[in-house]
A and B are shown apart, each in its own frame.
Chain A
Amino acid sequence: MNGAVDLSLIQVVSAYIFIIILLFIVRKRELNIEKEIIIATVRMTVQLILTGFILTYIFKNPNVFITILIVGFMEIFSISNIFKRNKSKLSIELKNVITISMLAGTLLSLLYFLLIVVKIKPWFNPQYLIPLAGMIVGNSMTGISLGINKLIDGVTNQRDMIECSLMLGATPKDACKSIIDNAFDSAILPTINSMVGMGIVFLPGMMTGQILSGSLPLVAIKYQIAIMLGILGSVSITVITFLNLGYKTFFNSRMQLKREG
């Protein structure tokens, strides 16, 4: 690899002109979001600089424990993010199911990817593991969030249908089948859609990064294909596990639909 052309500090700073333009427009239209824009810009800058230093250190000194720690941190961050972002209140049982599903889906796919698909050495090589984990965890987080919303909406809005099915002797699983199917579809649809547009509408972040840093496009593409499949696998496992365990939290041991509140 010949490496990317490094940017000088001045070149980077000159890119902030876009923020200045945005601030100017915002002020003129009296949109009152200057504060948010400035905070977002500062956060992005500081977070990326910090991450840059941390990653430099970690890549130079590969260490199993630190790498695992970082993946653990990503999981905790994404799971608590799911809890926070969800609009309806999640029961403790549902939170447990979400945690189990996220861990199962992302870790299984990640391990398969590292040990069988890319076979890097050492297996914890942070230069590979960390960005891969980031993509897998991030996409699974988005998928499961959609699944959670659809499941909760379905069970809340279709109480009559679920109870009618139970009255006819349906198992809770059969009573929720249409809701579960629908939730699964909407949870993996964004991932499928991004595969359809892949390479034409946009070059995904990882590939862009690889190409910029000097990889041959064909090498970058092979990675991209593999990672897209890995992401799809992880999203599917996460969402399927979640839905198959999650609907049960709405029923009690007598196969009754729990009352709200």
Chain B
Amino acid sequence: MFEIKNIKFKGILDIEHLIIPEEKITSIVGESGSGKTTLLKMLNNIISPEEGEILYKEKNINDFDAIELRRKITMLPQNPVIYKGNILDNILVGKKFAKSTDYDIEEIKKLMMEFSIGKDLNSPADNLSGGEKQRLCIIRVLIMNPDVILLDEPSSALDEKTEDKVISYICNYVKQNNKTLVMVTHSSEIAKKYSDHIIEINKRS
């Protein structure tokens, strides 16, 4: 699905060749500062490598319309971002950007339950706890129904139990709907337990 060829970025990343398979779960691991976020952002075309190329479905990623691409390959940033408004507004931001008004409120409520956010959809999103904000941001990505889901440390603010619940839900969902998941994680257990494929990035000094 993704093929990475000879990319270089500011002495942070230097990858000769890498393939990320379709309809599989791929984990990216590596120590802090090794360039995991940088790589994920490249797959979302939020930044571009200085050298080399990234292919998506055999086509250079730059040949796609960047905005359309990001609605198909959607990324969760490492730090949760909360917009003005209530929880529902926050879940629907991506839909709003796509000028789409069709959403299934029952599906949203189900996700809220699965992710243990026991709050009313109309309550202000600002008051959520750090971990709840992180889960809300994941729901926001899932609701976009992208083909490829890029998650940057989706469980960094979660305790082990919640982490397991959330990640296993996401992985089931990905498998059932034939989607592709690429996630950055600092937990090698999570990587081993859930992924088909693990990419390790080493820090360059």
- Cross-chain contact A167 with B97 (CB below 8 angstroms): no
Interface size bracket, A side: 10 to 19
Does B66 reach chain A (CB closer than 8 Å)? yes
User: Nearest chain A CB to B9's CB is how many angstroms away?
Assistant: 11
| One of B19-27, B77-85, B163-171 at the interface | B77-85
Secondary structure of the B contact surface, majority rule: mixed
B113 at the interface (CB under 8 A from A): no
Contact B79 A168 (CB under 8 A): no
Cross-interface CB contact of B75 among A167, A178, A255, cutoff 8 Å: A167
Report whether A170 and B62 are in contact in the complex, using a CB–CB cutoff of 8 Å: no
Q: Mark B109-150, 1 if CB is under 8 A from A, else 0.
A: 000000000000000000000000000010011001000001
**Among B42-50, B173-181, B185-193, the stretch in contact with A:** B42-50
Known: A167-B77, A168-B70, A168-B144. Is A256-B97 also a contact (CB below 8 A)?
no
Question: Which residue of B48, B75, B84 contacts A256 across the interface (Cβ within 8 Å)?
Answer: B48
A28 contacts partner chain B, Cβ-Cβ < 8 Å: no
A255 CA to B144 CA, complexed, in Å: 20
Smallest beta-carbon distance B165→chain A, Å: 24
**Contact A167–B67 (Cβ < 8 Å):** no
Instruction: Verify B67–A168 contact, CB threshold 8 A.
Output: no
Say yes or no: is B71 at the interface (Cβ < 8 Å to chain A).
Answer: yes
Q: A167-B77, A169-B67, A169-B70 are in contact. Are A254 and B48 (CB under 8 A)?
A: yes
**Cross-chain contact B79 with A160 (CB below 8 angstroms):** yes
Give the interface size bracket for B toward A.
Answer: 20 to 34
How far is A174 from B75 in the complex, measured between Cα atoms in Å?
Answer: 17
- CB interface residues, A 211-261, toward B, < 8 Å: 254-257, 259
CB of B77 within 8 A of CB of A174, answer: no
The residues of A that contact B68 with a CB separation of less than 8 Å are: 169
Determine if B77 and A256 form an interchain contact, defined as CB atoms under 8 angstroms apart.
Answer: no
Q: CA A255 – CA B93 in complex, angstroms?
A: 18
Q: Mark A155-176, 1 if CB is under 8 A from B, else 0.
A: 0000011011111111100100
Q: Most chain-B CB neighbours within 10 Å: which of A164, A168, A170, A257? A: A168
Nearest Cβ in chain A — how far from B163, in angstroms? 21
Closest to A178 in B: B84
Chain A residue with minimal CB distance to B79? A160
- Whether A167 pairs with B66 at a CB distance below 8 angstroms is no
Number of inter-chain CB pairs below 8 Å: 62
- Please name the residue on chain B nearest to A169 by beta carbon: B71
Q: With the chains together, A160 CA to B79 CA distance in Å?
A: 8
Q: Is B155 an interface residue (CB 8 A)?
A: no
- Contact A254 B45, CB 8 Å, known A161-B81, A170-B97, A178-B84: yes
Complex Cα distance, B79 from A171, in Å, reads 21
Nearest chain A residue, comparing its CB with the CB of B146: A169
Question: B62 and A254: CB pair below 8 A?
Answer: yes
Q: Does B30 contact A (CB under 8 A)?
A: no
Write the chain A residue with the least CB distance to B45: A254
From the candidates A161, A167, A171, A174, name the one contacting B46 in the complex (CB within 8 A).
A167
Residues of chain B within 8 A of A160, CB atoms compared: 77, 79, 81
> Taking A166-B70, A168-B74, A169-B144 as contacts, is the C-beta distance between A256 and B46 under 8 angstroms?
yes
Residues of B within 8 Å of A165, CB to CB, are 93, 97
Judging by beta carbons under 8 Å apart, are A163 and B94 in contact?
no
A165-195 contacts to B (CB < 8 Å): 165-171, 174, 178
Chain B residues positioned under 8 Å from A164 (CB to CB): 77, 81, 137
Q: Beyond the given A164-B81, A254-B45, A256-B46, please list 15 additional residue pairs across the A-B interface where CB-CB is below 8 A.
A: A166-B46, A167-B70, A167-B76, A167-B77, A168-B94, A168-B140, A169-B67, A169-B144, A170-B67, A170-B94, A255-B45, A255-B67, A256-B48, A256-B66, A257-B46
**Lowest 3 CB-CB distances: which A-B pairs, in order?**
A169-B71, A168-B94, A164-B81
Sample (10) of A-B pairs whose CB atoms are under 8 Å apart: A160-B81, A166-B70, A167-B44, A167-B46, A167-B74, A168-B141, A170-B67, A178-B83, A255-B45, A256-B48
Residues of B bordering A, CB below 8 Å: 44-48, 62, 66-68, 70-71, 74-77, 79, 81, 83-84, 93-94, 97-98, 137, 140-141, 144, 150
